């Protein structure tokens, strides 16, 4: 995030082209006057992209960003929301929900900021190209090709499918964030975690023999919350993931 090292990066590529425009203006923090100034700047921004860029540059990294984000999202949605076809509307709402799922089990106002800025990214991306929104996702993979018990369990439960999407995205961010020498260790660690789902949820594969979906959801959510926390620390990501007692 802004003050949390690469906590969430759903749309940095999208926003990167806008940042130099607003970086020329000073940001002010932690006062009523500063909040009112930022709110005014966001509301008066000429476009959704400009407002999103301004918030990315001047976000407080606290729960105050929730209110700032609502101003940007309203500006962005006014240009495309009513024009979305039903399936695209479902996907848009899904992406908004995924932002909340990713940080739901994290403590601290910086994570509320992270969720808010993620929603801004989703709205800005949709405003920039509404035709690219697409339809809703069932999982991080093609459920039409699901064969393994865990894959079938994921595709059969909408909430577990959402958790799978979040975990997949966070895991890919971890790999991108890690030093090259650590990536192999992270891949092995992920494989070991998947193999351990059976022990954690009462089935040899983690999804067969009637493994409780609630248990699988809990394990998925613990996993992506841990990965996110590791990305926000100064430690080597691989060491953070593998450190005993922190799972």
For the stretch 120-135, pLDDT in tens is: 999 999 999 999 999 9
CA distance 116 to 43: 16
Q: Quick one: pLDDT at residue 5?
A: 39
DSSP sequence for 91-128:
HHHHHHHHHHHHHTT--SHHHHHHHHHHHHHHHHHHHH
Same domain membership, residue 191 and residue 114? no
164-196 pLDDT, tens digit each: 999 999 999 988 888 877 888 889 999 999 988
Cα–Cα distances in Å, from 193 out to 70, 160, 189, 190? 37, 16, 6, 5
Averaged pLDDT in 10-residue chunks for the chain of 247 residues: 39 36 67 96 97 96 96 97 96 97 91 95 97 97 93 94 97 86 87 87 55 89 89 69 54
What is the residue range of 215's domain?
143-242
| Residue 71 maps to a domain | yes
From 181, 223, 60, 51, select the one nearest 127 (Cα to Cα). Answer: 51
Q: Quick one: pLDDT at residue 139?
A: 98
Same domain membership, residue 117 and residue 45? yes
Q: Which residue, of 104, 132, 160, is where some domain finishes?
A: 132
* Contact between residue 165 and residue 98 where contact means Cβ atoms under 8 Å apart: yes
Q: Quick one: pLDDT at residue 228?
A: 86
Q: Is 179 exposed, middle or buried (0-12, 13-18, 19+ CB in 10 A)?
A: exposed
Q: Quick one: pLDDT at residue 233?
A: 65
Q: Quick one: pLDDT at residue 135?
A: 97
Which pTM value belongs to this model?
A: 0.82
Q: Which residue, of 106, 132, 158, is where some domain finishes?
A: 132
| Residue 64 maps to a domain | yes
| Residue 5 maps to a domain | no
Same domain membership, residue 159 and residue 112? no
| Residue 1 maps to a domain | no
From 197, 245, 188, select the one nearest 219 (Cα to Cα). Answer: 197
Q: How many CB atoms lie within 10 A of CB 193?
A: 21
Domain count, the chain: 2
Q: Quick one: pLDDT at residue 232?
A: 67
Greatest alpha-carbon pair distance for the chain in Å reads 59
CA distance 110 to 1: 8
């Amino acid at each position: 995030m802004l003050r949390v090292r690469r906590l969430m990066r759903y749309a940095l590529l999208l926003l990167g082209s806008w940042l130099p425009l607003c970086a020329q203006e000073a940001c002010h923090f932690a006062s009523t006057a500063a909040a009112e100034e930022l709110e005014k700047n966001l509301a008066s921004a000429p476009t959704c992209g400009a407002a999103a860029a301004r918030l990315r540059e001047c976000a407080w990294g606290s729960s105050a960003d929730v209110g700032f984000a609502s101003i940007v999202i309203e500006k962005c949605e006014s240009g495309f929301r009513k024009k979305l076809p039903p399936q695209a509307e479902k996907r848009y709402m899904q992406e908004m929900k995924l932002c909340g799922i990713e940080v739901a089990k994290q403590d601290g106002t910086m994570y509320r900021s992270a969720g808010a800025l993620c929603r801004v990214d989703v709205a800005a991306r949709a405003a920039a190209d509404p035709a690219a929104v697409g339809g809703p996702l069932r999982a991080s993979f093609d459920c039409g090709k699901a064969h393994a018990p865990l894959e079938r369990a994921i595709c059969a439960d909408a909430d577990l499918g959402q958790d799978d999407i979040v975990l997949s995205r966070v895991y890919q961010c971890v790999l991108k964030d890690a030093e090259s020498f650590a990536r192999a260790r992270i891949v092995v660690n992920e494989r070991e975690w998947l193999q351990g789902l059976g022990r954690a949820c009462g089935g040899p594969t983690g999804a067969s023999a009637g493994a409780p979906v609630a248990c699988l959801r809990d394990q998925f959510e613990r996993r992506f919350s841990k990965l996110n926390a590791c990305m926000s620390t100064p430690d080597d990501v691989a060491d953070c993931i593998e450190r005993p007692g922190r799972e």
